[in-house]
């Protein structure tokens, strides 16, 4: 009788792990505020900019994945240095690449801090009313630090394990939220408020950001273009969840009421009645799922930012760097004085993310073909 063998964990990231990495990173704090953000300007047409943003995000994921595959096993830091610098002077490429790489590091670390702060705001206002905000934020940062002390394959497996536990309940709750739907609240669809829709697409850009994190894990990619299909499927899950939640919020509350709610998705889930009294409070399930989503978003960004910082300067002990960054992240997280400052900081971060998630990958991909520094490089 042969002994059962355990599955072999290879250094390469599988297609399902890449898909789960994108989905679990993108779905985060934005899911709570998305119905309000999408209707502030676009009103009852708020679901349209979400759908447009989803299509744009799909195109961006396609570009980022092609760039990751083209790296052909190189780390992101090495690829940037090789692409920006002349072949005769590789040191110059490293020097030119440092500001660009530090921009990604700073962005991912700031996202980690703001996600932890948003998590704390929701918990102290909706669940643990007597718990200090500092304790909640510190606990989330400690949890992300624990993930950051692990290896790549552990991070991949954590995201792969949590993906169905996040997506399936969100889709079910999104469908069940139509119980009190009044579809006349979506009217009129025409004429389209083009200016308001375009402004909303730009304002809700943060909701679809996070996919650029795969650039840091590009060294785990091989030359299989099938990753494009897997990653776009991962973003497809995000788009389906977001569109369902926004439409459900509009048809349940109306755009006027949504604009007055701080956490509209949480209020939407509270209105759900589970058949058969199996679950009296559906928001308990939603908060549990949302905690997992926040953990993966903050943990993945913290991990990617720490590793990229170490790759940039050749540091061999990323665990020590992660421990040293925790106090800095805590100070950044607690810097906003209130929720208004927090939302303003999130908006500013989203516009910086557009540059790092869309503009720079497109430029790097085009430059790599011109410089022949990717898969065709010898």
Set out the domains of the chain in order of their start, with CATH numbers. Answer: 17-365 (1.20.1740.10)
Whole-number pLDDT of residue 9 = 37
Q: What is the pLDDT of residue 374?
A: 54
User: Quick one: how far is CA 104 from the chain centroid?
Assistant: 14
Per-residue pLDDT, 372: 67
d(CA 301, CA 177): 31
What is the reported pLDDT for 225? 59
Alpha carbon 97 to its chain's center: 24
Helical residues (DSSP H) of the chain, grouped into ranges: 15-26, 30-39, 47-70, 76-84, 90-126, 133-148, 152-176, 194-203, 226-253, 255-258, 264-270, 282-313, 318-333, 339-354, 360-371
pLDDT, position 184: 83
Kindly write down the DSSP assignment for every residue of 267-282, as one continuous string: HHHHT---GGGS-S-H
Q: Is 58 exposed, middle or buried (0-12, 13-18, 19+ CB in 10 A)?
A: middle
Residue ranges for the chain with pLDDT beneath 50 = 1-10, 376-378
> What does the pLDDT look like over 276-334, one tens digit per residue?
555 566 677 788 888 888 999 999 999 999 999 998 888 888 889 999 999 999 999 99
Note the pLDDT of residue 108.
Answer: 93
User: What pLDDT score was predicted for residue 6?
Assistant: 31
Q: Are 43 and 196 contacting, i.e. CB atoms less than 8 angstroms apart? A: yes
Task: Quote the pLDDT of residue 7.
Answer: 35
3 state SS of 223: coil
- pLDDT of 116 reads 92
What is the pTM assigned to this prediction?
Answer: 0.89
CA distance 302 to 298: 6
**Is the peptide bond between 225 and the residue preceding it cis, with omega within 30 degrees of 0?**
no
Taking only the tens place, the pLDDT of each residue in 129-147 is: 888 999 999 999 999 999 8
């Amino acid at each position: 009788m042969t002994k059962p063998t355990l599955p072999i964990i290879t250094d390469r990231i599988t297609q399902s792990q890449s898909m789960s990495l994108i989905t679990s990173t993108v779905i985060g704090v934005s899911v709570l505020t998305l119905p309000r953000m999408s209707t502030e300007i676009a009103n009852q047409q708020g679901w349209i900019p979400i759908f447009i943003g989803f299509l744009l995000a799909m195109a961006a994921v396609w570009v980022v994945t092609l760039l990751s595959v083209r790296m052909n096993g190189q780390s992101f830091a090495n690829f940037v240095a090789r692409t920006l610098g002349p072949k005769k002077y590789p040191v110059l490429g490293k020097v030119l690449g440092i500001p660009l790489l530090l921009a990604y590091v700073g962005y991912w670390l700031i996202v980690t801090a703001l996600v932890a702060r948003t998590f704390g705001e929701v918990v102290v206002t909706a669940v643990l009313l007597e718990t200090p905000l500092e304790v909640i934020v510190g606990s989330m940062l400690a949890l992300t630090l624990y993930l950051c002390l692990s290896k790549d394959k552990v991070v991949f497996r954590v995201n792969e394990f949590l993906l169905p536990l996040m997506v399936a309940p969100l889709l079910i709750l999104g469908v069940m939220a139509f119980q009190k739907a009044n579809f006349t609240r979506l009217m009129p669809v025409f004429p389209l408020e083009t200016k308001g829709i375009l402004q909303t697409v730009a304002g809700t850009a943060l909701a679809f950001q996070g996919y650029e994190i795969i650039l840091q894990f590009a060294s785990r990619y091989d030359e299989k273009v099938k990753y494009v299909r897997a990653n776009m499927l991962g973003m497809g899950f995000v788009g389906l969840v977001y569109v369902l939640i926004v439409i459900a919020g509009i048809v349940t509350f109306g755009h006027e009421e949504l604009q007055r709610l701080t956490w509209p998705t949480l209020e939407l889930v509270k209105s759900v009645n589970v058949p058969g009294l199996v679950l009296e409070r559906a928001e308990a399930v939603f908060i549990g799922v949302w905690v997992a989503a926040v953990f993966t978003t903050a943990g993945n960004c913290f991990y990617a930012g720490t590793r990229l910082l170490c790759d940039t300067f050749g540091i061999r002990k990323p665990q020590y760097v992660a421990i040293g960054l925790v106090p800095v992240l805590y100070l950044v997280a607690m810097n906003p004085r209130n929720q208004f400052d927090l939302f303003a900081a999130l908006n500013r971060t989203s516009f910086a993310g557009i540059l790092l998630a869309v503009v720079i990958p497109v430029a790097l991909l085009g430059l790599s073909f011109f410089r022949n520094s990717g898969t065709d490089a010898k």
